[in-house]
A and B are shown apart, each in its own frame.
Chain A
Amino acid sequence: MIGRSLAGALLGLTLAIALTGLAVLCWPGDSVHVLVPAVVVFFPLYMVLILSAFLYRSASRAWGWMASANLAAFAALWIAQHTLPGLPS
């Protein structure tokens, strides 16, 4: 239980941030206009990801899958940051 909780609480947090961040950057309109809705979506997404750590067959699978998802999400986020207009500076 501790292993899964940690996987959910830590990797779920970073994954939720990366996924909502990615959605904001990829938003077809102006990204600035969906910032608050994105933060609102972040919280339930984080809760779902914490729960998802308890659906894998074992704690190590939870760590493995969630770490891979993090890698993929942050790679996509990095690409989005360097190719899309993003937020005004």
Chain B
Amino acid sequence: MRAETRRRLTELHTWTGLIAGFALFIAFYAGALSVFHDEIDTWAVPHPPAVSTDLIQRADALMAKVMEEHPASRAQIGMTLPGDHPSHEVAVYWFDKDWHVQGLDDAKPRGEDDEHEGLADFVYSLHYTLGIPELGIYLMGLVSIVYGVALLSGVLIHLPHLVQDLFALRPGRNLKRLWQDAHNVIGILSLPFHVIFAITGALICLMTVAMVAFNVMAFDGRLVPLEDSLTGASPTVIASNVPAPMLPPHVAVEKARAVALASGAEGFDPDYMRYLQYGDRNAAVEVRGRSGKTLGEYGSVALSAVDGRVLGVQVTGARDANHATYAAIFGLHFGTFGGTAVKWLYFLLGLAGAFLFYSGNLLYIESRRKRRSADQPLKVRAMATATVGLCLGSCAAITMTFCANLAAAAAGFDAALIVKPVFFITLLAAFGWTLWRRPARAAVDLLLLTAALSLGVAIADVALHGLRVEDGGAALAVNITCVGMAVGFGSLARATARRARSGDSNSVWAVAG
């Protein structure tokens, strides 16, 4: 590679990293936590309301009521089936110009984007929207594309000495080299993981947009009408306008399960079902569910809603390339193809990814540092402030939402109303604190705060609710992880404080005098 090309790629890597790095830090940190979404949800709702056994019958009644009030919903109406974590909602979904949702306990329908998220759902949606309603998901899709370009340019730059870099971590006086080594080692070792995330992240956020673009530019308007059949199992249903009695949901779900198992799926755990053209002689019912021992766990079975005849089967072992690929995208992104060990691996690689973006910012600062002056250029100071305020600030803010959730639950207050504001107020305060205290001190403060909150919330939870070994110890594991995170953030705080005191004083990371 010519020196000039290499320099240009380095510049590209720097800029794409800067543009995407902050959003990716939050996405990876919140995403790593979201690997344990269900466990966090179990932790967050210590006294779940008793699960009634008639959920599906009540949903059935609600569905009938919705169709009575909104006849257009008969074209496509579905419901989420009972799940195994406390804030999982059984709700009816229908399409009538737009998507509408009504939960079993809701008095009236709400829009699909009408957020009312508890702790686990908030952290999860933070990771793909940054908390920005409507447009956030598309923004993260674009960030994923920029991230892909940053990965490619990074690999090309390091390609000539990829192998040497892999085994080099040189601690010593040259700090830039140490950060460079750490950035390279983590980048190269977790490259397959990052490739997966750049691609599946972009896909999940932008798939519908891409389909529309392909529809217009390459397929003459014939793709969008096929879209449903690429991801679901049902063929297109055309109403005959001859009414017929329908199979009730619980019967359809049981039948679909039997069909999936007979087709060779390793288990079939239904989580969503929908009717197409409800009440019509041609109506179909489609049941989506999860199977084990496969890369893509999701599959679906479509039956005639009148007599239960099989219309389509797309489950593991019996599906085409479209459905296998579609399920694999989600399996790879969510790490659902393995057991607990894979979840922990995804958690650790997610945190390592957040570190990769953080260390990229540190490298930017280190390579533009003035070595002979205590005063640093504005761009270096601005970068240090943004890095500490946004990255460490969001770590503190997420931990604060755990505390807010605990306090709300103890006070009998609805946590879903406060987690999002608490996150943004804490993030804003952390950023203000960083501006005021300067990055070197603020970094130590925020790391210590995160460590203290993390330890505090675990102790407070045990004090309030006991050890919580029920539900397979999910809540206990969250508390133990909180203590582990506290130790991690605490040691980062110690290292940062030591560097501020006794490191090179010509740096944004030094505390003057």
Pick from B15, B149, B218: contact of A50, CB under 8 Å: B149
In chain B, residues 189-246, which have Cβ atoms closer than 8 Å to a Cβ of chain A? 195, 198-199, 202-203, 206-207, 210-211, 213-214, 217-220, 222-223, 226, 230-231
Pick from A14, A20, A55, A86: contact of B220, CB under 8 Å: A86
Instruction: Classify the interface of chain A: helix, strand, loop or mixed.
Output: helix
**A61 at the A/B interface (Cβ < 8 Å)?**
no
Query: Hey, which chain A residues are within 8 Å of B222, CB to CB?
Result: 86-89
Q: A54 to B203, Cβ gap below 8 A?
A: no
Smallest beta-carbon distance A14→chain B, Å: 7
**A28 at the A/B interface (Cβ < 8 Å)?**
no
Q: A39-B203, A48-B152, A87-B223 known; A21 and B218 CB under 8 Å?
A: yes
**A17 at the A/B interface (Cβ < 8 Å)?**
yes
Among A44, A54, A88, chain B packs the most CB atoms within 10 A around the CB of A54
Query: Hey, which chain B residues are within 8 Å of A51, CB to CB?
Result: 9, 12, 149, 152-153, 156
In chain A, residues 57-89, which have Cβ atoms closer than 8 Å to a Cβ of chain B? 77, 81, 86-89
Question: Could you tell me the distance between the alpha carbons of A35 and B223 in the complex, rounded to whole angstroms?
Answer: 9
Q: B210 to A39, Cβ gap below 8 A?
A: yes
Q: A54 to B12, Cβ gap below 8 A?
A: yes
Pick from B145, B148, B156, B230: contact of A36, CB under 8 Å: B230
**B481 at the A/B interface (Cβ < 8 Å)?**
no
Question: Could you tell me the distance between the alpha carbons of A6 and B124 in the complex, rounded to whole angstroms?
Answer: 33
Smallest beta-carbon distance A18→chain B, Å: 7
**B367 at the A/B interface (Cβ < 8 Å)?**
no
Question: What is the 8 Å Cβ interface bit string for chain A, positions 22-66, against chain B (1 contact, 0 not)?
Answer: 101100000011111111101110111011001100000000000
Q: B152 to A14, Cβ gap below 8 A?
A: no
Query: Hey, which chain B residues are within 8 Å of A89, CB to CB?
Result: 222
Q: A21-B217, A46-B145 known; A87 and B203 CB under 8 Å?
A: no
Smallest beta-carbon distance A79→chain B, Å: 13
Q: A33-B322, A40-B203, A48-B152 known; A87 and B226 CB under 8 Å?
A: yes
Q: A47 to B9, Cβ gap below 8 A?
A: no
Question: What is the 8 Å Cβ interface bit string for chain B, positions 77-107, against chain A (1 contact, 0 not)?
Answer: 0000000000000000000000000000000
**B326 at the A/B interface (Cβ < 8 Å)?**
yes
Question: Could you tell me the distance between the alpha carbons of A72 and B220 in the complex, rounded to whole angstroms?
Answer: 19
**B325 at the A/B interface (Cβ < 8 Å)?**
yes
Question: Could you tell me the distance between the alpha carbons of A27 and B258 in the complex, rounded to whole angstroms?
Answer: 35
Q: A21-B214, A40-B325, A54-B153 known; A47 and B207 CB under 8 Å?
A: no
Query: Hey, which chain B residues are within 8 Å of A38, CB to CB?
Result: 214
Q: Which residue of B lies closest to A51 (CB)?
A: B152
Query: Hey, which chain A residues are within 8 Å of B9, CB to CB?
Result: 51, 54
Question: Could you tell me the distance between the alpha carbons of A51 and B203 in the complex, rounded to whole angstroms?
Answer: 19
In chain B, residues 1-38, which have Cβ atoms closer than 8 Å to a Cβ of chain A? 5, 8-9, 11-12, 15
Question: Could you tell me the distance between the alpha carbons of A41 and B11 in the complex, rounded to whole angstroms?
Answer: 26
Pick from B199, B206, B321: contact of A34, CB under 8 Å: B321
Q: A1-B15, A50-B149, A55-B5 known; A36 and B325 CB under 8 Å?
A: yes
Query: Hey, which chain A residues are within 8 Å of B322, CB to CB?
Result: 32-37
Q: B220 to A81, Cβ gap below 8 A?
A: yes
Smallest beta-carbon distance B447→chain A, Å: 34
Query: Hey, which chain B residues are within 8 Å of A33, CB to CB?
Result: 320-322
In chain B, residues 118-159, which have Cβ atoms closer than 8 Å to a Cβ of chain A? 145, 148-149, 151-153, 156
Pick from B199, B214, B226, B230: contact of A43, CB under 8 Å: B199
Question: Could you tell me the distance between the alpha carbons of A28 and B321 in the complex, rounded to whole angstroms?
Answer: 14
Q: A42 to B219, Cβ gap below 8 A?
A: no
Smallest beta-carbon distance A37→chain B, Å: 5
Query: Hey, which chain A residues are within 8 Å of B207, CB to CB?
Result: 39
Query: Hey, which chain A residues are within 8 Å of B500, CB to CB?
Result: none
Smallest beta-carbon distance A33→chain B, Å: 5
Query: Hey, which chain B residues are within 8 Å of A34, CB to CB?
Result: 321-322
Q: A47 to B210, Cβ gap below 8 A?
A: no
Query: Hey, which chain A residues are within 8 Å of B156, CB to CB?
Result: 51
**B260 at the A/B interface (Cβ < 8 Å)?**
no
Question: Could you tell me the distance between the alpha carbons of A10 and B220 in the complex, rounded to whole angstroms?
Answer: 21
Q: A43 to B219, Cβ gap below 8 A?
A: no
**B396 at the A/B interface (Cβ < 8 Å)?**
no
Q: Which residue of B lies closest to A1 (CB)?
A: B11
Smallest beta-carbon distance A53→chain B, Å: 9
Smallest beta-carbon distance B326→chain A, Å: 5
Q: List 28 A-B contacts (CB under 8 A).
A: A8-B149, A17-B213, A17-B214, A20-B218, A22-B218, A34-B322, A36-B322, A36-B326, A37-B321, A37-B325, A39-B203, A39-B207, A39-B210, A40-B199, A40-B329, A43-B198, A47-B145, A47-B152, A47-B198, A48-B152, A50-B149, A51-B149, A51-B153, A54-B9, A77-B218, A81-B220, A87-B220, A87-B222
| Across the A-B interface, the 5 shortest Cβ-Cβ residue pairs | A21-B218, A47-B148, A87-B222, A36-B322, A36-B325
Given contacts A37-B322, A38-B214, A77-B218, 5 further A-B contacts (CB under 8 A): A1-B15, A17-B214, A39-B203, A39-B207, A44-B198
Give chain A's interface residues, CB within 8 Å of chain B: 1, 8, 14, 17-18, 20-22, 24-25, 32-40, 42-44, 46-48, 50-51, 54-55, 77, 81, 86-89
